[in-house]
Each structure stands twice: as structure tokens, then as C-alpha cells.
Amino acid sequence: MRTVFFISDRTGITAEALGNSLLTQFPEINFKRVNLAFIDTQKKAQTAALLIKEASEADGEPALIFSTQVSAEYAHLLENSGGIIFDFFETFISKMEDTLETKSSHEMGLSHGVGNKNTYSGRIDSINFALNNDDGLSTKNYDHADIILTGVSRSGKTPTCLFLALQYGIYAANYPLIDEDLDSVKLPSVLKPFKSKLYGLSINPVRLQNIRGERRSNSGYASIEQCQKEVRRAEDMYVQNNVPFIDTSHISIEEIAGRILQKSKLERRY
């Protein structure tokens, strides 16, 4: 067991994302993860340093610290906590200052602040679009969509749409393929006018059964026979209509969204 701290003066999202990417390369080690966000006062930094010291003593090994702490004063407290610090900010900022021949602002909270108001408003709009056009609830806005994901129930449509909206500003809608749609290899009539915007999601039937079983165990909806039938018919529909599709079984939402963005050549808004 090794305790890992993700520390930042704001949300900690950057430290956690970069740190976890590195930790995946050591699957044989059991990591206990602790996120300490908004460490933006001396008192909070001192408390964080104490927590790191206690964790290191309990583990018998120095804790790992992934930090995007801007303040040199607070970063110094972390360095003296007894843990091993990986300071993402300092690693890159000094080299950038040398390259750009100017000093950085060292201002807290810029990366996850509102920043450009147009960009921020666009992000909110794209998220609202994904929510309002989720799961086929409304199809009247499909002409405004950048992409329309389709697939059987629980294949990953909603989280992928939300990630595309939040991360890239893509206007993404999704349409669920139900039994009536899967009785034929023809596209559902509501989707035919938007064929160029369609992207299919598929999934391994056993994986689908596990996901559905968590929601409605021992039901026909979650039976392996039903899952196999739906996946097979959905893929037949994609192939017959030249709809590109991706298998979501063993890849993260982030990777699904990234691959769709690349393959469909969508232009990200930010």
C-alpha cells in the first residue's frame, strides 16, 4: 500500500488526471488515493503536510504527492512533509519561462476558471444540448447536432455525449435502438435524414449483460440471449447503412469520445 495525494490550489483535476495516468503504469502496487483540493491558504497547506506525514508513517513508506500548487510557499511546506513530491507546475513552468523569456503570472486558479466568457457559455450550451437531446427524448433538434450517437440501451451513449460536450464543446445527441427499431436493418425513420451525423456504439454482449444486470437483475432485458440479439442486430444495421461504429466494451468514456472525434473529423470548439 502506498498513499498518493493529489494536491492543488483549485479543483485538483489536472493533478489527478496526470497523476493517475502515471500510476496506471504500476498495476502491481495498491495505491490509496487522497484528493486535497483548494489548498489556497497557509493553514490548509500545513494541514495537508501533516496528513502526508501521518500517511507516510502509517505506510512505512513516503507518500507520493502529485501537485499543481502554484504558490512557492505552500509547495515548500509540501516538500518538507516527508512525502515524495512530483510538482507538475514547477517541472514545466521554469522551462517555459526560459523559452518564452518572460516570467509567468503565478496566479492561482487560471486553468479551471471561467476565463473566456464565450468559451464558458459555449460549454454550458453544449452540455444543455446533450441533456435535452438524451436518449431520444427529443428529436426536433437533430438538425443542430454535430453528431448523433446511436446504440442499444446501456452501450455508453449518454456519458459519451456529455464528455464530448464538456471536453470539446460538441453538440451531441443520442438515440436508443429499441426492439421495434431492431426488427429491420433499415435505419429508424427519424434517423434517416441525419445519416451523415450518425455514429454507432456497440458492446460485447457479456459486458452488456453485466451492466444491465446491475440495473435490472434476473430480467429478460438483462438476459444474455436478449443482449446477443440486440447487439447483433444493431451491428447489422450499422453495416447495412454504412454507419461507422465503435466497440465500447473495454475502453474508457474519454477514449470513446476521443476516437469518435478523430474518426468523424468533428471540429472541436475548444
pLDDT at 115 over 60: no
* Whole-number CA gyration radius for the chain: 23
Cell matching residue 40: 489556497
Q: Which residue has the higher pLDDT, 93 or 5?
A: 5
Write down the pLDDT at residue 123: 85
Q: Which of 148, 130, 147, 156 is nearest to 247 (CA)?
A: 156
User: Which residue in 143, 251, 265, 247 sits closest to 205, CA to CA?
Assistant: 247
pLDDT in tens, 50-107: 999 999 999 999 999 999 988 889 989 999 999 999 998 888 888 888 899 998 866 6
Rounded distance between C-alpha atoms, residue 68 and residue 66, angstroms: 7
User: Which residues lie below 8 Å from residue 163, measured CB to CB, with a gap of 6+?
Assistant: 253, 254, 256, 257
Task: Identify the pLDDT of residue 110.
Answer: 56
How many Å apart are CA 259 and CA 71, to the nearest integer? 37
Query: In whole numbers, what is the pLDDT of the chain averaged over residues?
Result: 92
Amino acid symbol at 143: D
Pairwise CA distance, residues 173 & 175, whole Å: 7
Partners of 145 in the beta sheet?
none
C-alpha cell at 208: 452488456
Residue 3: beta bridge partners? 32
Distance of CA 208 to the CA centre of its chain: 20
Q: Is 31 helix (H, G, I), strand (E, B) or coil?
A: strand
